[in-house]
Amino acid sequence: MKKSIENKSVKMRDVADHVGVSVATVSRALRNPEVVSEALRTKIAAAIESLGYLPDPAARALASTRSDVIGVILPSVTNNVFSAVMDGIYSAAEGTRYSVQLGYSRYAPLSEENLIRLFLRQRPTGLIVTGIDQTDAAKALLQEADCPVVQIMETGPAPHDRMIGFSHYQAARAATAHLIAQGYSQPGFLGARMDPRTQRRLQGFRDELRAHGIDEGRRVHSTTYPSSVTLGGHLLAQLMDAAPETDAIFCINDDLALGAMFEAQRRNLRIPQDLGICGFNDMEMMGAAEPSLTSVRTFRREMGAGAVQLILDALSDGARSDGNIVDLGFEIMPRHSTRRNS
């Protein structure tokens, strides 16, 4: 079995010669096995195996005007929300003939637009983009794309093609409602980065307060800096200085919540009595923290895997069925940090 090494330049031609058929037949055996005779098929498979043949993706793409890549554009490399999404994407793509090509926009709509253009140039099998806040040019590109396009992370109006996510607005309202239901009457808000998705969460927070006739006062603190545990601490410090009446906080994400928890401990604020804390995303650490932290569970891995599945479905469905929206929802995970009533 020397096959492992000797594939440096085994090409379809070699396989064909080895079996004594034309390259066309080998090609068919690979793409449409059903039209090749049983006998040849097995001989070809054996030859491929023993010669260690691997198709050249570039030649394939050039000749078929279609590459076997699924393009994915995410805003951030480091944010572990997206790590989970990627995990789902890679898992779902594993075992298929498709490979994943990743691009990072760094939360910049213009760079997202360029990435979309770049990816589309490769005639990908499908494209996965994050959210609904593309530039007009990007939207036009997606609209004209000749491959399935899936928007992830959100649900919302007018998807380009397909969509899988949840409502950040509703999730934030639910989290805020949870705080209020626990008896907190002066909830505050901690936010970072404040990209459009985050803004929608803020809007949910505000609308829920309003629905309960609660004034937000000076309790909304946010920054455009990227979020971090450290920042969570700073924001809580600012908030408590500006609005000492605050008795609970809804944090835009779990990092901020964790940082706020640490800061609360430094200030000897008792959780959940003096301060209730609710995060967002429900990363693994939330349940393990002391005290355990309430959060809004989102289905990130499922979003990634689901997006790939939507593309595969679209491929077999053939036609492009617009308006296909999958709402994965969310779930409030009540934990010690907001357990004031019980």
Partner DNA sequence: TTGTAGGCGTTATCAA
Partner DNA sequence: TTGATAACGCCTACAA
Binding site for DNA (CB under 7 A): 9, 11-13, 20-25, 27-28, 30-31, 35-37, 39-40, 53, 55-56, 59-60, 62-66
Burial zone of 52 (CB within 10 Å; 0-12 exposed, 13-18 middle, 19+ buried): middle
Q: State the Cα–Cα distance between residues 303 and 181, nearest whole angstrom.
A: 29
Helix ranges (DSSP H) in the chain = 12-19, 23-31, 38-51, 57-64, 80-93, 109-120, 136-144, 168-181, 196-211, 229-242, 254-266, 285-288, 300-317
Question: Cα-flanking dihedrals φ and ψ of residue 187, to 5°?
Answer: -75, 145
Minimum gap (Å) between residue 47 Cβ and DNA: 13
Q: Which of 281, 327, 332 is nearest to 176 (CA)?
A: 332
Applying CB under 8 A, which of residues 229, 237, 243, 325 lies at the interface with a second copy? 229
Residue from 26, 142, 172, 258 touching a second copy (CB under 8 A): that is 258
CB of 138 to DNA, least distance (A): 21
Any residues with CB less than 8 A from the CB of 19 and at least 6 apart, and which?
A: 26, 40, 43, 44, 47
Judge whether 269 and 279 are in contact, CB under 8 Å. no
Is residue 67 at the binding interface for a second copy, with CB under 8 A as the rule? yes
CB of 206 to a second copy, least distance (A): 28
Does 58 contact a second copy by CB under 8 A?
Answer: yes
Size of interface with a second copy, in residues (CB under 8 A): 54
Query: How many residues make up the chain in this entry?
Result: 342
Among 21, 70, 84, 326, binds a second copy (CB under 8 A): 84
> 120 and 126 in contact (C-beta within 8 Å)?
no
Minimum distance from CB of 85 to a second copy (Å)? 9
The reply on whether position 157 binds a second copy by CB under 8 A is no
The position carrying tokens 């490769």 is 122
Rule CB under 8 A: say whether 223 interacts with a second copy: no
289 binds a second copy (CB under 8 A): yes
From a second copy, DNA, none, interface partner of 4 (C-beta below 5 to 8 A by class): a second copy
Give the contacts of 315 (CB within 8 A, at least 6 positions apart).
125, 126, 148
Q: Measured from the CB of residue 16, what is the shortest distance to a second copy in angstroms?
A: 18
Residue closer to a second copy (CB basis): 14 or 207: 14
Copy the structure tokens of residue 220.
């909304």
Q: How far is the CB of 309 from a second copy (least distance, A)?
A: 18
User: Minimum distance between the CB of residue 38 and DNA, rounded to whole angstroms?
Assistant: 8
Distance CA 200, CA 13 (A): 56
Among 23, 40, 43, 104, binds a second copy (CB under 8 A): 104
Q: How does strand 187-191 pair with strand 248-251?
A: parallel
Distance CA 180, CA 342 (A): 14
34-39: long-range contacts, CB 8 A cutoff, minimum separation 24 = none
Interface with a second copy, residue 39, by CB under 8 A:
no
Binder among 170, 228, 238, 309 for a second copy (CB under 8 A) = 228
For residues 63 and 282, what is the distance between their CA atoms, to the nearest angstrom?
46
> In the complex with a second copy, which residue's Cβ is closer, 56 or 317?
56
Residue 40 contact partner, candidates a second copy, DNA, none, CB within 5 to 8 A by sort of partner: DNA
Q: Which is nearer to DNA, 63 or 211 (CB)?
A: 63
Residues of this chain that bind a second copy (CB under 8 A): 4-5, 7-8, 54-62, 67, 77-78, 80, 83-84, 86-87, 90, 99-102, 104, 113, 117-118, 121-122, 137, 140-141, 144, 228-230, 232-233, 255, 258-259, 262-263, 265-266, 284-285, 287-290
